[in-house]
Structure 1
Amino acid sequence: MQVLQMQLEIGADPAEVGRARRWARARLAGSGADRDEQLADTLVLIVSELVTNAVVHTGCPAVLRMLFGLGAADAGTVRVEVADACATPPMPRYAEGEDTGGRGLELVEGLADRWGWQPEGAGKRIWCEVDGAGACGACGAAAAAMAPGALDAPDAPAVRGLPGVVLVPDGRGARPEPQALPHPA
C-alpha cells in the first residue's frame, strides 16, 4: 500500500492557523477528497483544532501532515498529524457553558474515527484518522502521474515531487503503537 503524504511547516504564531486551514482545503481539493463536502469540512476543522493546540499550548513551531491512503484497504481514509517539539502529553479539557477554550480535543474525539498521540523525538505527534467512502479515489491517479513506476520496488525510497508532497510506502508497521488518550469518566 502507498500513502500520499503532504506536509506544511507551521510557525509559532496563532495567525498560522488560518494558513493551515487554507493549505488543508487546497490539499483536499487536489486529492479529490473535497468531493465529499462534509468530509472536507470535518478535516479542515480537525486541522484547525490540532494546529491551534500545537501553536497556542506549546508556543513552538509544528509540522502538519495529511496522509491519503492509496491502497484498497485504506482508500478514502485521511490521516491528519501535527508534530511539535513539546513532550508534554495532550490533556483533553472539557469546556462548560461559555468557556472559550477546552473544546479542541473534544471536537477531534467526536469527529475523527480514530485518534491518539505518540512520543516523537523530544516532542510528540498527535494524529487522527477520518474514514471517507472512497473520497480519495483520485489520489491514485495523482500519485501515478507524479512519479510513474517510482514505487514498483518494495524497498523504493520516498519520491519527492511537488513541494510539500511526498509519496511513501505505508510506514504504519514501522511506527510505534500510538497511545490512546484517556476519556474522563
Structure 2
Amino acid sequence: MDSRSGAPPLSGLPATSGHAGIWRFSVPPVEHAVPHVRHAVRDLLRRQQAPLTADRLYGVLLILSELVTNSVRHAALLTTEIGVEVGFDAHWVRLSVEDGHPYRPRALDAAPDQHHTSGRGLLLVKATALEAGGDCGVEATATGGKVVWAALPVDRA
C-alpha cells in the first residue's frame, strides 16, 4: 500500500519506461474540463497500451469524470487549477484529482448501497472501484486542499 494514501503502490517506473508510468497535468475548474480530461486520459491509456479491457477502461473514465466534475462544481471558488494524475503499472491503475478546497467528502465513507440525496457520484466511484477489486479515498494536501483517488487492478484486454 502507498504509505501516503492507503492506495496500492505503483511500481515507481518513470513515464519513459514503456507502457507503465505516471502522468500529471492540470486543467481550469470549468465544466468543459471534464470531457477534455476524459478524452485526454482515454487517448493516453490507449497510446500507452494500458492492459485494460473495454469494461475496465469505461470504469476508469467514469471515475475520472466524477472526480473532475466534483472539483469543478464544489471547489472552483478556492481552486485556480485542478490537478489530475494518472498512473499505471502491470498491476494497478490509479487516478487522483487534487483541488484547493479543504472539504473532504463523506460519501466515500458511506456504503454504496445506502440511499443518499447527494454524493451519489462519489458512491458510484466507490462502487466501481470496489467491484473491480480496487479502493478509493481522500486525503488532505499540505496546502489545505484535498486529493481524491481511486485505484483499480488492471486486467488483460
Normalization by structure 1: what TM-score?
0.62
1:90 match: 105
In structure 1, the partner of 2:38 is: 21
Q: Deviations over 1:84-135 (max 9, x none)?
A: 1111111328666xx7x63211011011111111111221111110112356
Matched with 1:129 is 151
Partner of 1:120: 141
Q: How does 1:158-177 map to 2 (within 5 A)?
A: none
Which residue does 2:119 correspond to in 1? 102
SS of structure 2 residue aligned to 1:22: helix
Q: Give the Cα–Cα distance (whole angstroms) in 2 for the partners of residues 109 and 53 of structure 1.
A: 14
SS of 1:90's equivalent in the other structure is: coil
Query: What secondary structure does 1:2 align onto?
Result: coil
Return the alpha-carbon distance in structure 1 between the equivalents of residues 26 and 145 of structure 2.
15
Kindly report structure 1 stretches of 4+ aligned residues shifted beyond 2 Å: 93-96
Percent sequence identity over matched residues? 27
| Structure 2 match to 1:181 | none
- Using the alignment, how far apart are the partners of 2:84 and 2:70 within structure 1? 12
Give the aligned residue type for 1:12.
Answer: P
CA contact 2:51–2:154 (8 Å) conserved in 1 = no
Contact 1:64 1:82 in 2 (8 A): yes
Contact (CA 8 Å) 2:23, 2:86: kept in 1 or not? yes
1:80 is paired with a residue whose SS is strand
Gaps of 5+ in 1: 70-74, 136-185
The 8 Å contact of residues 23 and 85 in structure 2, kept in 1 or not, is answered as: yes
On the 8 A contact 2:86/2:93 being kept in 1, the answer is: yes
Pairing 1:55–2:80 present: no
Q: 2:51, 2:156 within 8 Å by CA — same for their partners in 1?
A: no
Task: Mark the structure with the bigger radius of gyration.
Answer: 1
> How has the CA–CA distance of structure 1 residues 30 and 76 changed in structure 2, closer, same or farther, with 3 Å as cutoff?
farther
1:47 Cα deviation from its structure 2 partner: 0.5
Tell me what 2:84 maps to. Answer: 64
Task: Normalising by structure 2, report the TM-score.
Answer: 0.73
Distance 2:27 2:72 in 1: 8
Q: Assess if the C-alpha contact under 8 Å between 1:118 and 1:126 holds in 2.
A: yes
